[in-house]
Structure 1
Amino acid sequence: MSDNFAVAATPQAHDADIEYFVRRGMTKGYQLMSAVTPIVYTVFAATRYGRAHLNVNRLLRATWMGGSLGIVGGGAFEYARSAYSNPEKVRIRRFRTAYDTASIRADDHSTIGGILFAVITPALFWKRANSINLILGGAGVGSAIGLIAHHARTVTGDPAPTIPVPEMPPVAPH
């Protein structure tokens, strides 16, 4: 991010802001769908087909496929939201998200959980699922567990520290 706020009014700066928000939307979409998909799939499969249909391979496959849909959906949503918004408001929103420590901590916990479970899940369930489903599904489950750990820390009294957002001067158009 440039310190020269007059440069922020250029189309290139707006394109950079859009790219930032698309990446952020993809990350948040993956986290959300990785947390929701295993629950939804378990309830759907148990009510529709019974307990015999539930197994580790199918659950892990549903998890990483749901996470993939979250990536696509989150990126598309943020692109539509940012590309067709006022460039100055998008710039201010990016500036505020850079100081959102709760979101940064949620991303960190999710990444750590995803990496750990991408390694632990194949070690635990080696003979019960396909290796691709083990690695990608394990990363999805770990991402969800990391996100839950972040929210559990916040609820139990250890919230992310808040950093005051500095005053941003108005953007002068050219």
Structure 2
Amino acid sequence: MTDNFAVAATPQAHAADVEFLVRRGMTKGYQLMSLLTPPLYATFALSRYGRAQFSVNRLLRATWIGGVAGTASGGAFEYARTVYSNPDKVRVRRIKAAYDTSSIRADDHSTIGGILFAVLTPAVIWKRASTVNLILGGAGVGSAVGLFAHHARTITGDPAPVVRIPELPPTPTEPIP
């Protein structure tokens, strides 16, 4: 068991924890911006330009560009947060994230919605936007719909199961009680 402590204290383990948390930050950033961008862009475009200049193509383009911006900013924020943090605290955050079933279910619903809408959006509104905007924007809208589905399931009484995090032994820098 002491070998696990030695492995957990290596720089490679810290780098793996940082990589995991940065990927998670990128995913959460994409989900958040895919959720926020369509209503914000629609409100901005309708109030600024009116209905004459509002189009599905522009809405879908704004959605996927917002998702890319969310991915980049979420990853950069998480990298800055974790790379110079205490490796023990980063390890604990990674373990908590790995056992957070609600977050995992939200990611699953978001991914399923993104894939589904990336296929359905071009099939339904083929002539209203360019192919790239249909596929990537549809994925962004689907990601938002997946998040809505996750939260609707939670609100209606089907929350994600709670998994107990296994007891972590004290790290070598902590005193043993």
TM-score normalised by the shorter chain: which range applies?
over 0.9
Counterpart residue number, 2:45: 45
Could you say what secondary structure the match of 1:64 adopts?
A: helix
How many pairs were matched up? 171
Counterpart residue number, 1:134: 134
Structure 1 residues 63-74: aligned runs within 5 Å: 63-74=63-74
Moved over 2 A (4+): none
**Could you list the runs of 5+ residues in structure 2 that have no partner in the other structure?**
none
What residue identity is the alignment partner of 1:18?
A: V
Deviations 1:87-139 (A, max 9, x none): 10000110111110000000000000000000000001100100000000000
Q: Distance in 2 between matches of 1:30 and 1:11?
A: 28
Q: Distance in 1 between matches of 2:37 and 2:129?
A: 18
Cα-Cα RMSD: 1.0
Could you say what secondary structure the match of 1:84 adopts?
A: coil
Where relative contact order (Cα < 8 A, 6+ residues apart) is larger, the structure is 1
**Could you list the runs of 5+ residues in structure 1 that have no partner in the other structure?**
none
Could you say what secondary structure the match of 2:161 adopts?
A: coil
1:6 and 1:171 in contact (8 A); partners too: no
Q: Distance in 1 between matches of 2:56 and 2:125?
A: 8
Identity of aligned residues (%): 73
Counterpart residue number, 2:151: 151
TM-score by length of 1: 0.96
Quote the offset at 1:77 in angstroms.
Answer: 0.4
